Structure 1
Amino acid sequence: MGAGRVLARREEARKAVAYAECLAMLERVLQLWDKVPDAAERIGADHVSVLEDAANAADLAGEFDRGIKLTTAALKEVEAAAGERDTARWAALLEQRGRMLYHVARPGFIEDLRAAVDALQPTRRPSCAPGPCPRWATTCASPPPWTRPARRRWSPCPSRAPSATPSRRPRR
């Protein structure tokens, strides 16, 4: 079965919500990758994209161990890429691996998630002290909503509390 036919079947499996079959097809593409000349041009995707798709399929199929291996392989390729690293892609892969590590209760998920957040934050000026940049404090006058205490919708007010004796309305 050729790589093009495998990818066509992968797309059909994805549309049918058959994530395990989709994962199997993508792993077959990855096995054949080195054997097919000009594989990226033939299927219209680079090796990292196929690894990302396979890791997504593994995540959706609940195959977290396989997904962690695929995501780690994709991260290594993104890090080894010549030139400037695609920070958004790298952070998305770290976030995905962190979630999968969390699902299988393995250590390292917090570090992956923190590294993903740090990669997407704007660079700090050298004059900034460790921690958030002081300019951030001036742009946000109030703290984020998740740090504020929750408001009560109803609080008993003594002046509005129901009295023990029923009130009488004037008759008309």
Structure 2
Amino acid sequence: MNQDPIGLWGGNNVYRLGYAIQTWTDPLGLEGKIFLQKLDEKFAGINVEGTIALGFGFNGSLEYAGEGKLSCSIALTAGAGAEIGVSKSVPLAGKKDDGFYSEVCGTAKFFGSGGACFGSTLKKNQKPYTTTKIGGGLGGGVTANIGYQKTFDLMGSALQHTEKHQ
């Protein structure tokens, strides 16, 4: 048993054992919640997206939403576009909540990329949202989308476990 070598969790008890040491290991000395906080600083808003449409088509995306959550969206698309890329979403106004949504997006991708979406979740009294995307990929287009978004908590049980023992 060693002291916390990089000072992440030592506190008053620098020889603290991990929780459930027979079944849980942490070879880097990072507790799950602390590690996720570091990931959140760097990766929240990163998404992978693909669209193909000429008249009608499909759009799908995965976005790391922060706090160990992954948002998955799939949409029917009307317009013209073919694109694939990785970008960082920057919300300008409002928020795209889980559930059905409608939006209009425009993107341009030629290795570097930029784009913007304006839309609304299809719920009563929901305020519209606006996001921009900056990243890299190939393609472009202007599309109107009707889709569904669902967010999954990838670390829910791990975070609940660490919060109970703090």
Scaled by the length of structure 1, the TM-score of the pair is 0.22
Higher relative contact order (CA 8 A, sep 6+): 2
Asked which structure has the greater CA Rg, the reply is: 1
When you count strand as a share of all residues, which structure comes out higher? 2
Scaled by the length of structure 2, the TM-score of the pair is 0.22
When you count helix as a share of all residues, which structure comes out higher? 1
